[in-house]
Amino acid sequence: MSLPDILFITPSMPSPLGTGSMLRAAMTLEALRKRFRVHVLNFNVWSWGSGRPSFMLNRAASYAELPNTQGEVDTAALLERFFPGIEFVAIHTFKLVMARVAVGILASMKGARPYLVLDLDDDEWVRSRRMLERMEQDNDAQAAKRGRADETQLRMLEKMMAPRFNAICLAGIQDCSVVQARYPRVPVHHLPNAIDIPDNSAVGAPSEGDNRAANILFVGALYYLPNADGICHFVEQVLPAVHRMAGAPIALRIVGADPLRRVTELAGNPSVTVHANVSSVAPFYEQASLCIVPLRVGSGTRIKILEAFSYRRPVVSTHLGAEGLAVKDGEHLILADEPEAMARACATLLSDHTMRDQMVGSAYEWVFRNHTVANVEAALDSIYRPVLA
């Protein structure tokens, strides 16, 4: 018996080796294909890297990639060109930015109305408000002016689009409650982020000889303001105190896509290196002694924390950086917001190997229970029950 057809609309290439959005798209594709024939429509709004990776091509029934466009999309022509004759039972739309495309495609379809699911990923209202507050605190009047305009447009778009969908999902449980209150007539579901758990038989403790610097690692999209703000703040306000408290050589590695100039300039610090657009983050996790998530703005859940847990690496994060994850301070990671407290947490985990081993063991078990593809499959079974029943 053949599987029903679903259209997966995404602003980024599904890939387990890319940014957080690319990874969430990849894990969603991996789970959806167990229940549907998945046809991927990628508008390449957020691109990183190039080509058509085998991961996506080996899982999608068909694939179409269109350049990012700010204008109207001829959805009728799009359907005829890329998906002729296919009767979709559902449309899975990833990110609010793609909602108008989904609604346009719906209007161009003939026959039974497909089931519409909107994966917001995170609460963009919260994220835009926090970023605006950061701009105002930094006395960046021009950026704040743009931020206020963007926030207004974002709220209008969500209010117009969200009620048209049959279901909404988000990565964070707290975000689900907030969005459900905003749209009480649309069921809101928790769709957790997930990662491929690496073969931990090949991932041991990092080697740290007497003359070897301890490697602190930060991973994230370096063009993204919350990541850039967080790591710049860490280098300027926290790292000097870590050097002082640790009493040993410290090396900070910053890894991610398309770094902003202010991030690239951090490499002027002799203990900091910036690695842009790497093909794989795995070697950096394997060599890391400690992972940091020093975010001060943003929303959603941090895939970088899940990755660090899966590689059995200890994590120090701000409370906001761990927001949306049901982790416990002192059991799975250490949470600290002020520079001195964060530096102390880093120094402690670099020196106390017993505490570090206990923490990474608990964290690995937690991520294995809660954030694998199996968890995504279970959530999608619930979301798509009206279609699959």
Residues 6+ away with beta carbon under 8 Å from 271:
213, 239, 243, 249, 250, 251, 252
Domain with residue 20: its CATH number is 3.40.50.2000
pLDDT of 201 > 50? The answer is no
The model's pLDDT over 117-162, given as tens digits with 9 standing for 90+, comes to 999 998 887 777 777 677 667 767 676 667 666 777 888 999 999 9
Q: Token pair for residue 278?
A: 């790497």
Domain count, the chain: 2
Query: For position 386, what pLDDT does the model report?
Result: 95
**pLDDT band, very low/low/confident/very high, at 301 (cuts 50, 70, 90):** low
pLDDT of 258 > 80? The answer is yes
Q: Comparing 69 with 271, which gets the higher pLDDT?
A: 271
The model's pLDDT over 95-112, given as tens digits with 9 standing for 90+, comes to 999 999 999 999 888 888
Nearest CA-CA partner of 169 in 387, 381, 3, 388: 381
Query: For position 55, what pLDDT does the model report?
Result: 87
Residues 228 and 167 in one domain: no
Taking the C-alpha atoms of residue 247 and residue 5, their distance in angstroms, rounded to an integer, is 59
Residues 6+ away with beta carbon under 8 Å from 122:
170, 171, 172, 175, 299, 300, 301, 324
Taking the C-alpha atoms of residue 15 and residue 389, their distance in angstroms, rounded to an integer, is 30
Q: Which domain holds residue 304?
A: 200-370
Residues 208 and 316 in one domain: yes
Task: Give the rounded distance of the alpha carbon of 337 from its chain centre.
Answer: 21
Taking the C-alpha atoms of residue 192 and residue 188, their distance in angstroms, rounded to an integer, is 13
The model's pLDDT over 28-48, given as tens digits with 9 standing for 90+, comes to 999 999 999 999 999 877 655
Residues 61 and 163 in one domain: yes
Any idea which residue has 């605006």 for tokens?
132
SS3 content of the chain, % helix, strand, coil (to 5): 45, 15, 35
Taking the C-alpha atoms of residue 56 and residue 62, their distance in angstroms, rounded to an integer, is 10
State mean pLDDT over 232-236: 97
pTM for the whole structure: 0.88
Residues 186 and 120 in one domain: yes
Residues 339 and 309 in one domain: yes
Residues 6+ away with beta carbon under 8 Å from 264:
274, 276
Query: For position 211, what pLDDT does the model report?
Result: 47
Q: Are 52 and 20 in contact (CB under 8 A)?
A: no
Residues 175 and 273 in one domain: no
Residues 176 and 217 in one domain: no
Residues 377 and 364 in one domain: no
